[in-house]
Amino acid sequence: MGPKLKLSLDVGTGGGSIGGSVIGVAEQSDMSKLIPANPDGMKLRDKDFEFEHELGAGNGGTVSKVKHVPTGIVMARKNIIVSVDDESNRKKAERQLKSELKILHECKSEFIVSSYGAFSHDGAVSVCMEYMDLGSLDGIYKKHGAIAEATVVKIAVHVLKGLMYLADNKILHRDIKPSNILVNSKGQVKITDFGVSKQVLDTLARTFTGTQGYLAPERITSGDVYTVTSDIWALGLTLIEIATAKHVYPMMTLFEMMTYVQDSDPPSLPPGKFSPLFEDLISKCVIKDHMQRAGPEGLLQHPYCMDAVEGGISLLEWTNTLDKDE
């Protein structure tokens, strides 16, 4: 089985993280060939960037906050190196990277972290992404505590709209979790990290990827089946986590997790602490039978989501209470 390229890097509280990744280097090819053509886009060159500080590191890669000097735009820059010790596996990894860059290049939504483009440098690919100055939901709740229910529902609406946009474009994210949902001081909430996303031509994706603590039951019983409703399960767990400031499942091995998710009741909010509407919304996200679980469009019709769209707390009011990453 060939190597899997994961264009992700959890950077915890680091603001504006969009992920970075590395597959170990043994032999490199011309990385510029993997970058989608963008004749009308911003011209990006290594010498035009001013390093500010590192946002996070993992798997041998780094994500940095940088300033594009010609425009003055602050960005998050990740470096990706594709290299393995086998020619056929290297080509598979490069094809996957090319596909991921294409997805980043084509996604244009106010609910998806945007890409300024990519360029090759010193045998690697640098991807320059929108900088989200308040970081991830993971970092926010770990620093500030549980997020208020009304705010969580508003966040859910933004993520559902992002997932609906991806589904409309035949893209599954496949790694929804608090560290892959970013926030900025403009009150915007956006999905990031397409390292394990997949552009699909049919209704099913057949690969076992994602973060184990957020795997839907169908991923465990039939690991080759994935639809957008599997992202909804992960969103349900994410909403519980940020509303309670606790992981839904205790730390356990992958095998223990698989058994636990299969055999236990669906996760739920602590009784008596949240409104019936919020409890109902969560319950619809975590229906164990994925054929009965609603997709993003259906959940946006939930009364609580509809109320959040029309009114409720302003996310800008909430973000004004949070600390920027400087």
Question: Rounded to an integer, what distance in angstroms lies between the CA atom of residue 104 and that of residue 85?
Answer: 27
The CA-based dihedral angle spanning residues 164, 237, 313, 309, taken in that order and rounded to the nearest 10 degrees = 20
Q: β-pairing, 21-22 with 73-81?
A: parallel
DSSP 8-state secondary structure symbol assigned to residue 39: T
Question: Rounded to an integer, what distance in angstroms lies between the CA atom of residue 225 and that of residue 222?
Answer: 6
Ramachandran bin of 83, using left for φ above 0, alpha for ψ from -120 to 50, beta for the remaining angles = beta
User: Helices (DSSP H) in 67-216: which residue ranges?
Assistant: 87-106, 137-144, 149-168
R_g over Cα of the chain:
19
Place of tokens 């049919």: 202
Which residue ranges make up the annotated binding site for ATP? 78
Question: Rounded to an integer, what distance in angstroms lies between the CA atom of residue 202 and that of residue 189?
Answer: 29
Give me the active site residues, please: 175
